[in-house]
Amino acid sequence: MLFSENLKIALRALRANKMRSMLTILGIVIGVATVVALLSIGEGATASITDQIQSGGSNLLTISPGRQEARFPGAGGGYRQTSYLYYSDYQLLKSALAESVSEIVPVYQSAYTVKFGDESLNTNVTGVLEAHKEIRSFEMSDGRFINDGDNKSQALVAVLGNTVAQDMFGSLSPIGKTIAINGVRFEVIGVLESKGASLGSPDDVVFIPIETGYNKLFGETATYNGKKTVNSILVSVMDTEGMDTVSAQIEFMLRRSHELKTSDALDFNIMSQADTLETLNSVTQTLTIFLGAIAGISLLVGGIGIMNIMLVSVTERTKEIGLRKAVGATKNQILTQFLIETVTLSLLGGIIGILLGVGIAYFFTVTGLISSVITADSILMAFFFALAIGMFFGIYPALRAASLHPMVALRYE
């Protein structure tokens, strides 16, 4: 007997109970849709984050203070910073690493209220050097970036991230306008191009010369034990090969300047882009496994649902099975018929699930939440998973049907 005939029988049986068939495959639909949407969104997210991190330069090292301590519950929870990086660390590294490092810059960042006329905005203000632009590959959409002259003269000038400029000035050109940061007046000299909403995006940030910041804005909060602190030090290494050596040198020098004994843990972190990517990948992997497990359970439950309904269907159709056997159907032919029916059901669920999943992924892309990437792999995987579920959960009901005794089946009421 041909496959197409079995398929016809299967479709007729499923059509006879439309509502029941639809409800039965719901579990598979949800499971498969979740898998497809998840993989597409995960793929897209990973791709875009990887892209962002790599656009930051593969030869970049970021040094940041490394030790934090849980606050006492009475103090409002959260974390308290217990180790610091100092401006003097930056100076030390700069002179020591002049040979192997192309750029090295300090960064100090703090949140302030920024005002222009009636507009008021709470945003991050970052003190930087001229070389910051090069290291982070910023592009100007208008005006110029902070330069060494600004730092030397402690000029009251600011460069706006794209979102900040939009929010405060709208269609107005911000260049030459005066804004107030925590009451201190700065002249806007430039606006950055947007980098999109991403990890460490400069769009929501106002940049000022770091020297101006220390002397006229940051005040006491930027010092610890009388020494100027920094949030991070960015190091752009000459060539990627030398990353490990430079990293080791930095560790050695900072250990000494922070007076750490060899047995002490580091009180700072040195992260390369590769490290960041690795951390990120392990996080995405954990998430994917977790969500994948949920989807898997949904598929399992869906499969059991299908098996249940097929068992009911075999019982309901006992007499039909008897008749088919009476007119010459063999055990194998009945087995095949019911197996194809179950597989048709689960594949139908799979296909609807794939369409739904692709729809969800597409929705995420269109709304700009996450640009998802739909891969043929994920669709094929979902398809074969649905197929496997149908085979696995279909075999038992099909065996039940096939092994019915023809006379007993015909006498069944």
Among 41, 325, 344, 360, binds another protein (CB under 8 A): 325
Kindly list the distances between the CA atom of residue 348 and the CA atoms of 251, 330, 352, 356, 386, in Å, as whole numbers in the listed order: 59, 27, 6, 12, 9
What angle, rounded to 10 degrees, do the helices at 273-316 and 331-366 form? 140
Subset of residues 96 to 125 that bind another protein, contact rule: CB under 8 A = none
H-type helices in 329-375, by residue range? 331-366
- Per CB under 8 A, 331 contacts another protein: yes
CA distance 409 to 224: 88
- Per CB under 8 A, 185 contacts another protein: no
Strand-pair partners of 79: 70
Name, in order, each residue with C-beta under 8 angstroms of 297's C-beta and a sequence gap of 6 or more: none
Among 58, 280, 320, 395, binds another protein (CB under 8 A): 320
- Per CB under 8 A, 327 contacts another protein: yes
Count of residues that bind another protein according to CB under 8 A: 23
Write the single-letter amino acid at 316.
E
Other beta carbons within 10 Å of 370: 18
Among 156, 277, 301, 410, binds another protein (CB under 8 A): 410
User: Cβ of residue 346: shortest distance to another protein, in angstroms?
Assistant: 23
Among 248, 287, 304, 326, binds another protein (CB under 8 A): 326
CA distance 146 to 127: 10
CA distance 203 to 124: 10
- Of the pair 136, 400, the CB lying nearest another protein is at 400
The stretch among 61-69, 115-123, 228-236, 322-330 that binds another protein (CB under 8 A) is 322-330
CA distance 84 to 305: 58
The stretch among 154-162, 262-270, 272-280, 329-337 that binds another protein (CB under 8 A) is 329-337
- Of the pair 132, 317, the CB lying nearest another protein is at 317
Among 16, 70, 274, 297, binds another protein (CB under 8 A): 16
- 384-399 CB burial, b ≥16 within 10 A, e <16: ebbeebbeebbeebbe
- Per CB under 8 A, 319 contacts another protein: yes
User: Cβ of residue 400: shortest distance to another protein, in angstroms?
Assistant: 15
- Per CB under 8 A, 329 contacts another protein: yes
Residues recorded for the chain: 413
Residues that bind another protein (CB under 8 A): 1, 5, 12, 16, 319-320, 322-333, 405-407, 410-411
